[in-house]
Structure 1
Amino acid sequence: MATESPIRIGVLGCAEIARKISRAIHLAPNITVAAVASRSVEKAKAPSPATNGYPPTVKIHGSYESLLDDPEVDALYVPLPTSLHVEWAVRAAEKGKHLLLEKPVAMNVVEFDKIIAACEANGVQIMDGTIWMHNPRTQKMKEFLSDPERFGQLKTVHSCFSFAADENFLENDVRVKPGLDGLGALGDAGWYTIRATLFANNYELPKTVTALPGPILNEAGVILSCGAFLRWEDGRTATISCSFLANLTMDITAVGTRGTLQVHDFIIPFQETEASFSTSTKAWFNDGVTAWVNKPSEHKIVTELPQEACMVREFGRLVGEIKNRGAKPDGFWPSISRKTQLLADAVKESIDKNLEPIFLSGS
């Protein structure tokens, strides 16, 4: 049987993260960068093919429209500012281009629903760029959380992602500009903590979302730091914390009736080639209450490919199934993107309403 040709992806825009994902595409066996576009040919050429790991044959487009019209491009990676997602993702879907869309996927769920509608109408696969979901470690974590003997029933999750941004970032980065990435730290860092909470809760939406006291906004009203408390119908709880103003921290702690899972680098592993997490089951104290019995154990997973290459490999596989075998798009990825966006919207709404609880209907 002939080997299927790699999925041809175009990069829509020249955001900094495009370098990382372009390297990942270069490492993935089933996908290749076919084209790159910016508002001008000069800007598209600025990150050189050598820098980005683009093949020398990569086509340079001087406009986004030109890339969308390219018949030799199957899919698009879209690292544009969030405010531009709804326009360009819908236009791409209408041209039949599959979408790997950076997070946050939209400014709000109403915008994202327009994108989903266009994808569904045109048989287009969409996946967001939440890279850690594709690390082999994540599946091992899920196995522990799903084990009734080792973990039991989930009771609470705490997730934090913060980094101390410098003065230039806080003044000039697109993530602090209301017209570009207006969700700020909530849309950037908070997206990961919300996804971690949903992941631990098997993607079941909470009943209420309440922003925690003390959110910090810049002069333009963009969130620089915030937190939220989430509660489920059966009493499960979660807290999330995200910030551009505190030291680099990437934690998940999930506590069940029998066990606990802890991760300290869940978004970007301490090392690219391996990732670990710790678990404890039926932990207790010794007779003198001076030490632990059943101490936490560490689980280390060696990764064949960097997690971002695992992501684009999976995206390429799904697109290949559609292109080569007439498969339907996988609905799992847009469904969890939508739930993540719904919760981000709820946190922002609670902040805007002076920390009122926001009730979710489960939609």
Structure 2
Amino acid sequence: MAQEKVVRFGILGCAAIATKLARAIGMTPNSSHYYTEGLSVYAVASRSVDKANAFASANNLPPEVKTYGNYEQLLDDPFVDAVYIPLPTWLHLEWALKAAHKKKHILLEKPPALCVEDLDTIIEACNNNGVQFMDGTMWIHHPRTPKMKAFLQNPDLFGDLRFVHCTFTLALSGKFFEEDIRVKPDLDGLGALGDVGWYCIRAILWANDYEMPQSVIAHPGPVLNEGGVITSCGATLSWQDGRVATFHCSFHSCLTMDLSVHGSKGILNLHDFAMPYEESSASFFSSTNNKLWEMNTVWGPRPSEHRVTAEFPQETFMVQEFVRLVKGIQDSGGKPDSQWPSISRKTQIVLNAVKTSIQEGLISVTL
């Protein structure tokens, strides 16, 4: 029986997050080189071949994996179908464009660009070259996510959306604020807003069925380092019909990943929205028609827990969806799917509006 060729991945850069994706690619059905060989990643490139070899060794990649000492060599490999790009954000435009022109499908780490104009250029290049684009927001692909959406879309249990609040913070210190690329204005100039704030904005848009807010205004008290990079901030998003959402992101507070979605009849809560506490399962809590009882001294009912099992880590589900779209283009000559680029663009627009609000003295930015 003939071996069925599937999507061959190249990893463009050996950042720490690439370790997570190398594992995910290896665990994803239909992403290996051949089903029978099980080659998880086809090629790895770094700024030196020694770094690429060290990455391959540290991640137990088989000896068949190609290693390259610069990114161009990987993109010139005709057997590479798709690339995962975990480079610093300021390099995304250059290397995503080069990958698109080489007809490589692109899974790009978030935030995908420093500004909306750069992201538009990337998406246009992908469309013009017939390659799929997707950003690396993992939680949205977890099987828990559609289960939560089903609750939000139930008019009897949740009602109409009223308010969303999201928090993603990390307690970082020491060398992080001196050396990490996320606090360097010339590498990842969006700081905490681009790193953990991206997840919050995506969650808010997801809860609102990706309907864009009318206005965005940053909260007082944003924290910026000496280079002008945001290390802590928050914002309020408002819709014409009265819906409101708020978020807070920071590199200065204890690890928190809270999401709360309020409706006219029910509420959804979870404390690990961006990264589940466990890989094999994840839960969320909901309650409906809460009331005050016994002379307003107690209230309920208590929230119900809904647990969703997961066969793979959430990053594997992301790769699986990406592979599905790539295979649709490869096998049937289809066009790149527009859903994920559109969602990326909306997230980027809101993110940059928050940054503008901070830079312009906490003004309200109309979208």
- TM (norm. structure 2) is 0.96
32-41 or 340-349, which deviates more:
32-41
The answer on whether the counterparts of 1:26 and 1:54 sit within 8 Å (CA) in structure 2 is no
Query: What are the superposed Cα offsets for residues 97-117 of structure 1, whole Å, 9 maximum, x if unpaired?
Result: 000000000000000000011
Counterpart amino acid of 1:201? Answer: N
Q: What is the root-mean-square deviation of aligned Cα atoms in Å? A: 1.1
In the alignment, which residue of structure 2 is the partner of 1:93? 100
Q: Which structure 2 residue ranges, 5 or more long, are not aligned?
A: 33-40
Match of 1:25 in 2: 25
2:297 aligned with 1:290, yes or no?
Answer: yes
Whole-Å separation in 1 of the counterparts to 2:17 and 2:319: 14
- Residue 14 of structure 1 aligns with an amino acid whose one-letter code is C
Shift of residue 266, structure 1, vs aligned partner? 0.5
2-structure distance, mates of 1:126, 1:13: 18
Residue 317 of structure 1 aligns with which residue?
A: 324
After the TM superposition, which parts of structure 1 deviate over 4 Å for at least 4 consecutive aligned residues? Answer: none
Equivalent positions of 1:234-253 (< 5 A) are 234-253=241-260
Check 1:162–1:115 CA distance in 2 against 1; reply closer, same or farther (3 A cut). same
Give the match for residue 165 of structure 1: 172
Q: Which residue of 2 aligns with 1:7?
A: 7
Alignment of 1:329-348 (within 5 A): 329-348=336-355
Give the Å deviation of 1:54. Answer: 2.4
Q: Which moved more, 1:173-182 or 1:1-10?
A: 1-10
Query: Counterpart of 1:4 in structure 2: which amino acid?
Result: E
1:231 shift after superposition: 0.3
TM-superposed deviation, 1:2: 6.0
Unaligned ranges ≥5, structure 1: none
Which one-letter code corresponds to 1:168 in the other structure? K
C-alpha distance in 1 between matches for 2:213 and 2:326 = 32
TM-score after normalising by structure 1: 0.97
Aligned equivalents of 2:203, 2:60: Cα separation in 1: 30
Per-residue deviation, residues 240-287 of structure 1 (Å, max 9, x unmatched):
110000000001100000110001001111111110000011011222
Provide the rounded CA distance (Å) in 1 between the counterparts of 2:87 and 2:45: 11
Q: Are 1:210 and 1:228, in contact at CA under 8 Å, matched by a contact in 2?
A: yes
Mean alpha-carbon deviation: is it higher for 183-192 or for 34-43?
Answer: 34-43
**Paired residues of 1:160 and 1:242 also in contact (CA < 8 A):** yes
Instruction: Give % identity.
Output: 57
Match status 1:44 vs 2:52? yes
Q: Secondary structure at 1:48's aligned position in 2?
A: helix
Q: Per the alignment, in what secondary structure is the counterpart of residue 327 of structure 1?
A: coil
Distance 2:140 2:62 in 1: 27
Q: 38, 60, 75: which is aligned to 1:68? A: 75
Deviation at 1:53, TM superposition (A): 4.2
Structure 1 residue 48: Cα displacement: 3.4
* Partner amino acid, structure 2, of 1:191: W
Structure 1 pair 205–53 and aligned structure 2 pair: CA distance change class (3 A): farther
| Displacement after TM superposition at 1:141 (Å) | 0.7
Q: Report Cα offsets for 1:30-54 as digits up to 9, x if no partner.
A: 11310000111111112233x3242
> 1:163, CA displacement in angstroms?
0.6
Q: Secondary structure at the match of 1:247?
A: strand
Return the letter of the residue paired with 2:20.
K
8 Å Cα contact 2:215/2:239 also seen in 1: yes
Check the 8 A contact 1:6/1:29 in 2, yes or no: no
Deviation at 1:290, TM superposition (A): 2.6
Equivalent pairs, count: 359
In the alignment, the residues of structure 2 paired with residue 152 and residue 200 of structure 1 have an alpha-carbon distance, to the nearest angstrom, of 13
Q: Aligned ranges for residues 1-363 of structure 1 at < 5 Å?
A: 4-32=4-32, 33-49=41-57, 51-360=58-367
1-structure distance, mates of 2:274, 2:211: 21
Q: Is the 8 A contact 1:22 1:53 kept in 2?
A: no
SS at match of 1:7: coil
Change (3 A) 1:133 1:53: farther
* In 2, Cα distance between equivalents of 1:10 and 1:156: 41
